[in-house]
Chain A
Amino acid sequence: MKKAWVKIGLVLLPVILVYMLFPVDKRSRYLGLKDDCFNHGIWIYDRIHLNNKPVDVAFIGSSHTVNGINDRLIEDSLKSKDLSIVNLGYCRLGRNLSYAIIKELLKTKHPKMVVIEVMEDEDRYSHPVFPYIAETKDVFAPTLLFNRDIEADMQEAILYKLTMIQQEFFSPVAKVPVSLENFGFACSPDTASAASLLEVEKRQSFKKAELSTTERNFHMKYPRYYIREIGELCKNEKIKLCFLYLPGYGSHSPLPRENETYLKYGEVLCPPSSITKPKCNWKDEEHLNQTGAAALSKWVSGELAIKL
């Protein structure tokens, strides 16, 4: 039986090697995220690798960050400190993407500070775009601790690379011009209807069942692993790490549930209720609108001015 598997392995080896060693342009991988999340995928790549402007403070998180952090406004507010601020948020949840983006960022830039968005609680699963842009070894040798999506991530990564190879051969994607836009903030001026936010308040008033400490320790193994990795990465690179608490509208949690985990690696910034409470600051129940983003960004500027 062993002989058979060795022989099968040897026959397949050239195919696997061709697949693995076939060069795929990293930018093309980000280009594959076209039309997703305000086209932020390719912009993030260009900002990190092709835009020479340095990055001093990077905000990394979900659509809460994309919509809430006006990087241009923060940079203008901190003009005297001559800091380059950038919003590298990407829609949807999954802590492993924050890790992948920080790793990508550190390849060409050396920020003074990284601000990681946190919500009421950590998401337990893999980010849907993680297998597309993360380094191969991070996809194929991730933490095994309660990693529900490991198989799906590997499958997606393999198929995505296959798509890239096929594309390279048969239908090369037209070269997209490099975006030299410095800022990633994207937000709408719309305001959520009072009725919809009232609904949210009603929903929030029902207390969710709390997990026991044992259950929490079990469920949070996965995101905690990535928080620790991010913490280690920043520590090794001597980068200040901060966490910014950005819950949705109507949250009753003054602090994130994983506050203690975050405090091991950096300070947790919690915006005041004067920003999160007013209905006029929200585009929908999850995202701030331009007014809300301006208020939040001003407050964040003040905090950064003290810390940097």
Chain B
Amino acid sequence: MIFISSLVDYIVGLKIISAPTILKKKLYLLVSIITNIGMLGFFKYFNFFIESLQQILVFLPFEIQTTTLRIVLPVGISFYSFQTLSYTIDVYRNRLQPTKDFVKFCAFVSFFPQLVAGPIERASNLLDQFNDKKVFDYSKQVIGLRHILYGLFKKVVIADNLGLLAEKIFDPGVSHNGFTVLAGSMIFGLQIYCDFSGYSDMAIGLAKMLNFDLMKNFATPYFSGSFTDFWRRWHISLSTWFRDYVYIPLGGNKRSPTRVNFNILVTFLLSGLWHGAKITFLIWGALHGLMLLIEKNFPSRISKMVAAPFVFLLTSLFWLPFRAEGFTHLKSLVSSLLSMQYSVNELHTIIASIFSTPKFVALAIILSLFILVEKMISITDFNDWVKSKSKPVRYLTYYSLFLSILLLANINIKPFFIYFQF
């Protein structure tokens, strides 16, 4: 699949630039869009649309036979499809000269550190880096290793341990009280952040060690003072992709207020759908879209300090549809949340069944320190933050991370990144 996608987009790129008329350019671009979205649609959304169609057709007086496919989703298809698509669109927009080097183009599409879970790179940033002669650079090794260390810490210490709690809380076979579900949504929020940003950090670090610069994917999003700010700091490579290739082509914010609202909503619905062919992802996208509409249409002057906890609380609650196994599970989670049973005991029992008291205390301390460090990192990154510190503080940070990984890494679980499934 990746080869077909690369081959088609490589040829289309060259054809677009040499096409004599706009119509021909458009036709070539269409070939690229149909190929990439077609493959993505077939592998990722075929069953979803068939099942949805079945549910709609159930109201008809006659029965229609449909079949779903049992196919395995090619790893990283959502990421590289968007990456190659951005290449042909940029060539079409005359923002990029197509490459004549097929090997270089394939290397750009299949660049291993970010192939399976991003960041979704733009050709304008990554492609030309393959032309540069790669020489060993000590400072880049240090920067890369810092990113890898911090990413590894986030993944194996925070995400994997919180994941154990989230797995119990979101077990569709068990219903929990409102407090547990509320806490579960925050736990999952932190888990997915540390899991995904941890992967991105490691990918960025590894690429850096190979002398490549990948784009930043996260900027401490849970300290955002608004949803607009949140989407500038969460999965930046995807949100900017949707901004540049969906929202702006739809007219962006240069149309009538109604049309702008429509554009925002459509962009977020598509963003939800990008994650998977499930109604719950659409709900997640719609909720975020709605929040952006509210912010756009009813601007408030609440300070960032006051707003940030509310934004965190709401984004956490919005993770419920994202994490739910299906619509029925989501309904059960929401009804638990609305049940007004807010006893701490259940969560305490769940925690006690997973962690010993010393381990829980250690994790709580580490998590608090992590949040503090994230607050200090703010919109820079771990590398920038740590290099601004004195040598003793820097080494203290490194060894604290090493020690946390040694003592708290969850090594007995199957290696898994949440975003691998997308």
Contacts and interface: CB of A to CB of B under 8 A. Distances in A.
A230 to B, nearest CB: 32
A11 B394 CA distance: 12
B402 A170 contact: no
A166 B138 contact: no
A18 interface: yes
A15 B407 CA distance: 11
B398 A162 contact: no
Contacts of A163: 411-412
A176 interface: no
Nearest to B135: A1
Residues of A contacting B: mostly: helix
A162 B411 contact: yes
A14 B136 contact: no
Contact of B138 (A3, A11, A15, A171): A3
Contacts of A8: 141, 145
B390 interface: no
B356 interface: yes
B141 A4 contact: yes
A1 B407 contact: no
Contact of A165 (B141, B398, B406, B412): B406
Contacts of A166: 406-409, 411
Contacts of A19: 406
B358 A162 contact: no
Contacts of A15: 399, 402-403, 406
A23 to B, nearest CB: 15
A169 interface: yes
Contacts of A180: none
Contacts, number: 45
A169 B358 contact: yes
A165 B138 contact: no
Question: How extensive is the interface on chain B, given as a class?
Answer: 20 to 34
B406 A4 contact: no
B356 A162 contact: no
A308 interface: no
B387 interface: no
Nearest to B138: A4
Interface string B349-376: 0000001101100100000000000000
A159 B138 contact: no
Interface residues of A, number: 18
A13 to B, nearest CB: 11
B399 A14 contact: yes
Contacts of A165: 406-407
B252 to A, nearest CB: 46
A162 B156 CA distance: 13
Given A15-B399, A15-B402, A163-B412, A170 B356 contact: yes
Interface in A12-55: 12, 14-15, 18-19
- Tell me which of A11, A170, A171 has the highest count of chain B C-beta atoms within 10 A of its own C-beta: A170
B74 to A, nearest CB: 27
Contact of B407 (A4, A11, A169): A169
B407 A159 contact: no
Given A4-B138, A11-B398, A171 B411 contact: no
Nearest to A18: B406
Contacts of B409: 162, 166
A31 to B, nearest CB: 16
B407 A170 contact: yes
A3 B395 CA distance: 18
Contacts of A11: 395, 398
Contacts of B359: 169-171
A170 B358 contact: yes
B399 A4 contact: no
Nearest to A5: B141
B406 A162 contact: yes
A17 to B, nearest CB: 12
Given A4-B138, A169-B358, A170-B358, A159 B406 contact: no
A1 B136 contact: yes
Contacts of A12: 402
A3 B138 CA distance: 8
A19 B405 CA distance: 12
Interface string B399-422: 100110011110110000000000
Contacts of A1: 136, 138
Contacts of A171: 356, 358-359
Given A162-B406, A162-B411, A170 B399 contact: no
Contacts of B406: 15, 18-19, 162, 165-166
Interface of B: 136, 138, 141-142, 145, 355-356, 358-359, 362, 395, 398-399, 402-403, 406-409, 411-412
Given A1-B136, A4-B141, 8 more contacts: A11-B395, A15-B403, A159-B411, A162-B406, A162-B409, A163-B411, A166-B409, A171-B358
24 contacts: A1-B136, A1-B138, A4-B136, A4-B138, A4-B142, A8-B141, A8-B145, A15-B399, A15-B402, A15-B406, A159-B411, A162-B406, A162-B409, A162-B411, A165-B406, A166-B408, A169-B358, A169-B362, A169-B407, A170-B355, A170-B356, A171-B356, A171-B358, A171-B359
| Closest 3 A/B residue pairs (Cβ) | A170-B359, A171-B356, A1-B136
